[in-house]
Amino acid sequence: MSELFDCRDPGERSRGITAAVNAVKSGRLVVMPTDTVYGIGADAFDSAAVAALLAAKGRGRDMPVGVLVGSWQTIDGLAITVPEAARLLIRAFWPGALSMVIQQAPSLQWDLGDARGTVMLRMPLHPVAIELLREVGPMAVSSANISGQPPAVDVEDARRQLGDLVEVYLDAGRSTQQAASTIVDLTGPTPRILRTGPVTAEAIGKVLSVDPATLTA
């Protein structure tokens, strides 16, 4: 039986974070608020938990799970090298609605799906998410919905879709952006936007000093 905590109440938020930390550390799934949409998350280094996350969504390994982090510095331990473009984008848009695909460090003992040596990273702009991430470390997180359905922008929608497959639901009201993050691929010779979202090509182009049209070509 899953538990729901209203994180708008300080006492319940504290209890909810504790329950979510215990669930993640025990290999179970949680639903958490972010600035974009609600996410379903698991310990990124627990392969069985990540497999359960994919199964809960009805999603295959061909769509690997991204990773949320609770600080800017975490990226240095997860990447082979951090491209200068990534550092510029982090300074401009993290925490926030920008996800970046980079080459992961080969020493990492995780299985996020068929990611082919890459990882998608984001630091969300949400206090509940950041508090949880700083307690448990990097989490494998995907939008809290059944694959093919619209992402959940409130906890009720997430709960309708995922039910008791999730141990703990953290409710913080409706998501601010109500749209999935922008994804930028930094693994090739030039940056490329894989998914449009709240952070525009124009904003990214300005930070990287490139023509925005080249990001979506």
By three-state DSSP, how is residue 81 classified? coil
Neighbours of 83 (CB within 10 A): 16
Domain ranges of the chain: 3-214
Residue 184 and residue 205 in contact, taking contact as beta carbons nearer than 8 Å:
no
Question: How many residues belong to the chain?
Answer: 217
Determine the longest span between alpha carbons in the chain, in angstroms: 51
Whether omega before 95 lies within 30 degrees of 0, making that bond cis, reads yes
Strands 39-43 and 30-32: antiparallel
**Span 53-92, pLDDT tens digits:** 999 999 999 999 999 999 999 999 999 999 999 999 999 9
What's at 102, amino acid-wise?
I
**Span 92-131, pLDDT tens digits:** 999 999 999 999 999 999 999 999 999 999 999 999 999 9
Looking at CATH, the fold of the domain delimited by 3-214 is given as DHBP synthase (3.90.870)
205/57 Cα distance (integer angstroms): 33
Residue 133 and residue 70 in contact, taking contact as beta carbons nearer than 8 Å:
yes
By three-state DSSP, how is residue 19 classified? helix
